[in-house]
Amino acid sequence: MRLAALSAAIVPLASLQAEDGYDLWLRHAPLEGESLARLQAHDGEIVALNPDEPTVALAISELRAGLDGLLGKADRAAQTGSYTAFRFDCDHPAIAPGGAFRITPADRLLSIDAAEPVGCLYASYAILRELGQGADPSTLALDSAPAMPLRMLNHWDNPDGHVERGYAGRSIFDWWHLPERLDQRMIDYARANASVGINGVVVNNVNARAFMLEPRYIAKFARLADAWRPYGIRVYLSARFSAPMDIGGLTTSDPLDPQVAAWWRAKADEIYTAIPDFGGFLVKANSEGQPGPQDYSRTHADGANMLAEGLGDRGTVIWRAFVYSAEDETDRTKQAYAEFVPLDGQFADNVIVQVKNGPLDFQPREPFHPLFGAMPKTKLMFEGQITKEYLGFASHLAYLAPLWKEVLGADTGRGGPVTKSVAQVIAPAGMAGVANTGSDRDWTGSDFDQANWYAFGRLAWNPALSSESIAREWAAQTFTRDPQALGTITAMMQGSREAVVRYMTPLGLAHVMDTGHHYGPGPWVCDLARPDWNPCYYHRADGEGIGFDRTPAGSDALAQYAPDVTAQWADPATVDPRYLLWFHRVRWDRVMPSGRSLWADLVHEYDAGVAAVDALARDWQTLAPHIDAQRHRAVAENLAIQQVEARWWRNASLAYWQSLHGLPLPAGAAPIPESLADYQRRAFPEAPGQ
């Protein structure tokens, strides 16, 4: 009964809905010309050795529905050829487990081999992805395996439906009506995740509510787990560390207290009774006011290992390394390293430490986190933010694959004679992305933000993929297959994040967003209770200069990196200009490699960012013949917003810097149209995602 319901639910909605973005990259729009003719010649039956296994049945159903879409078949019951065109073997002994698959062509047959059913499901999506870009089915050969075991989304969704740092409407999780009613959106969400290899979902906010561990919520999670299991997706929960006190009646949550450990063991047993493949717990502890083991003078390892013992070999504890305290007066970016590196080798085997891509907080650009490579005896997991808390929310076009590629490809300078990249460091564990989905019809608040969800999954499967190739394949499945239009869209995406960096945080600036909502510029905010909540803490600008000195003469945060890496960034004369003000305090009149002063270079960067956004808007207008009117208009309207807000960023930032040093704008630079006071008066108490 369950399988029939799921199979019926996976029919794409293109025939029922306008081009409103709901179908994501799974539109399977009809092919044309030679690509269509090749697929028509290949069209035939799909067979499997074990077709009744739920995930195998899904693999067949997804492939058939996708092929019918590509062939333009309105009647999905239409007969295909009498021969076998696709044959699944989902219990193949020569294929590695974990989702790997092999696709081999022979005459008019594609053989799909995998060690387990989920590998066959991934293969179906891979076939459709390739055919949707015009690949010839008679020569389609793929041999693919995930680079890392855990490819996860972290939802910052709250039980009342509010999404922290979410810009696409309300939460997609209808906790109020679960478990009795499962929204169809949960199935469509699972399809989208499985299509890019995502295999784990943390369904609630890391700022967790203890009552979500109560039996009534466990039943809700179990309904989700049952629905997602055929798609290869395991449910994980954010757990509040103080739950034994909050809902358990204990007087302590000390991880070394036997009663506390017993409570968590019993809770884990209760969850596994309802969800046999429960993934485990994600924990945010002793950060931003959340309870944790340090409340009892215990270490992060003490807390994580106690929970890990309760899960046993059934699941995993994912312990976030995002920690900072108001009492540390040195440099916030140093705190995670200082707290976790001494614990290397002390974490249990089923504990993963989840590390943000950079040492601060999901900024438009940061250097890679110094923890990567510095804890060789501990499993480390990458955490990136798919939702754009600091990159213009859902209204700014900012394709994030280039950001993640910068980090994944960074050489940590550690790991022996052949040093390891960040991607190699995290390979035994995985990647987590803070989800950007919501109740908006297009899922992510804008059409282009779908690409970040897609790109995250593709890079978690294979971090060696180029951001350009991911952009092109996403655009071909989402918008158009026209080669010239694809080239334009791909170029727009590739340059978009750099444009945001330039008009928001050029030359290594960071965290200059307005306070609380992080919407728009606020470099003048200097009076908040905690020093590290203030943008002034990070840019340190005054009449003489700007930038955070992280050399030995300053906070010495550079010392947390390997010597070879430190050498790249230690000298302001040779450091990559993109990181200059992150690591160095620089005088406004310093002569830069361009021959301009720092002040003139900064103005140049802001202006270049504005110009890049104007170019995005112009390029998009040329694509009107290739994009349906509804989505073309929606993107154009967002780009118009971005054009206005890029100028706001440029003008407000420059007005503030000028108020400190009094220097004139360089010759030819556009004047600042409003006063600093005008920019400072802007307030946005209704900004989404707070």
Structure tokens of 256? 């070394």
The reply to whether 313 belongs to the active site is no
Active site residue 269: no
Task: State the catalytic residue, choosing from 339, 361, 442, 645.
Answer: 361
What lies within 8 Å, CB to CB, of 235 at 6+ separation is 201, 203, 221, 224, 225, 228, 275, 278, 279
Out of 288, 542, 544, 571, pick the active-site residue: 288
Q: Which bin fits 24, alpha (ψ -120 to 50), beta or left (φ > 0)? A: left
Give the residue from 87, 200, 226 showing the smallest Cα distance to 146.
Answer: 200
Strand 379-385, strand 430-434: pairing: parallel
d(CA 244, CA 267): 10
Check: CB of residue 102 under 8 Å from CB of residue 95: yes
> Sign of the CA dihedral 562, 563, 568, 569?
positive
Residue 411 pairs with which residues in a beta bridge?
421
Q: Does residue 403 contact residue 497 with C-beta atoms inside 8 Å?
A: yes
Backbone angles phi, psi at 70, to 5 degrees: -65, -30
Structure tokens at 594: 């361009």
**Beta-carbon contacts of residue 600 (< 8 Å; ≥ 6 apart):** 592, 666
- Between CA 370 and CA 186 the distance in angstroms is 37
- Alpha-carbon separation of residue 41 from 48, 71, 80 (angstroms): 21, 11, 10
Cα-Cα-Cα-Cα dihedral of 384, 388, 391, 396, to 10°? 140
How far is 211 from 202, CA to CA, in rounded Å?
16
DSSP single-letter state for residue 420: P
Quick one: which of 384, 383, 377, 387 has its CA closest to 351?
A: 377
What count of other Cβ atoms lies within 10 Å of the Cβ of residue 195?
Answer: 25
Please report which helix (H) or strand (E) contains residue 129, including its range. helix 117-131
* Options 23, 116, 254, 389, the catalytic residue: 389
- Residue 389 bears catalytic tag: yes
Phi-psi map region of 158: left, alpha, beta (phi>0 left; psi -120 to 50 alpha): beta
Q: What is the largest CA-CA distance in the chain?
A: 80
Distance in angstroms (rounded) separating the CA atoms of residues 580 and 443: 37
Q: Rounded CA gap, 266 and 503, in Å?
A: 52
Q: Is the dihedral of CA 253, 256, 258, 263 positive or negative?
A: positive
> How is residue 170 written in tokens?
């309300």
**DSSP 3-state of 364:** coil
Nearest to 314 by CA among 271, 359, 358: 271
Omega before residue 359 within 30° of 0, cis: no
Question: Three-state SS string across 467-522, please?
Answer: HHHHHHHHHHHHCCCCHHHHHHHHHHHHHHHHHHHHHHCHHHCCCCECCCCCCCEC
Q: Which two tokens stand for residue 383?
A: 């955490």
Render the burial of 108-138: b for 16+ CB within 10 Å, e for the rest: ebbebbbbbbbbbbbbbbbbbbbbbbbbebe
Length of the chain: 690
What are the catalytic residues? Answer: 288, 361, 389
